[in-house]
Amino acid sequence: MRLGPDTPALVTGGGSGLGAATARALARRGVRVGVLDRDAAAAARVAGEIGGLALEADVTDPAAVAAALARAAEAHGPARLLATCAGIAPASRTVDRDGRPHDPELFARVLAVNLMGTFHAATQGAAAMRGLAPLTPDGERGVIIATASVAAFEGQVGQIAYAASKGAVAAMILPMARDLAASGIRVMAIAPGLFRTPMLEGLPAETQASLGAQVPFPARLGDPAEFAELALAIAENPMLNGSVIRLDGAIRMAPR
C-alpha cells in the first residue's frame, strides 16, 4: 500500500510515545491521520501539531471505539491503515512480598487496555476496510499493525499481566491475518524492546542509561521514531503479513 495524501490512517494511543511518533511519521508522508487517545488533551496536542484529527476514546469501550472510527471516516474516509499503540504496563507480582495474590482487577484492566483495546480497534477497523475498493492489483484493502512487546516472549518479574496481554496480542496476529486474507487486509505486529517512551522517561537518567546499556547493539534505548519507521515500512511492503517483528537491538530480557 502506497502511503500518501489519499491514505486515511488511525492511530490508537496516538497522544504519546510510540503512537505519537507513528502519527507524526504518517503525517510527514501526507497521510490523513486520526489521533485516538483516552487523554483528549494529548490527542489534541499531537493532532494540532500534524494537522490531524483528535479523537477522544477509551479503547476498552467498543462503542467509544466505533464512534471514533465513524468520526474519522466522516473526516478522512475509512482508515486504510490502523496502528494500535494504546497500552499500559503496571508492575505487580503473582504473589507480593506480603503474601497477597495479584489483584485480579488490575490484571483484568491490563488485558482490557492492551488486548481487548487492540481487538476492538482491529476488528472494527477491519469491518470497515473490507467494504472498500482494492488499492492494488493483488486486492489489498488495508493494513492493521498492532503493538506487542518483547515481554510477550520474555516477561520479567512483575510483568505477569503485561506479558499475558502482549503474548495474547502476538498470538492473535496470524489467525487474524488468515481470517482477513480473503478481504485483502494484512495484519502485522511490532514487538518493541526497551524504548524511550513515557513509561521509561519517568525513570532517572542514570537508570535509563543503564537499561539502554543492556541492549547488545545499538546499546541504547530505542527511539519511538524507529518504531514509526518500521510501521511505515510494514504498510508499504505487501508480503509482510501474519508475523510479529521484534524491534529490540537483539536484547533478550533477563528475569529482572
Cite the active site residues: 162
Q: What ranges make up the beta strands (E) of the chain?
A: 8-12, 32-37, 53-56, 81-84, 142-147, 185-192, 244-247
| Spatial contact of 109 and 135, defined as CB atoms under 8 Å apart | no
| Spatial contact of 221 and 203, defined as CB atoms under 8 Å apart | no
Residue type for position 253:
M
| Spatial contact of 158 and 91, defined as CB atoms under 8 Å apart | yes
CB atoms within 10 A of CB 225: 13
| Spatial contact of 109 and 35, defined as CB atoms under 8 Å apart | no
Cell numbers of 1, please? 500500500
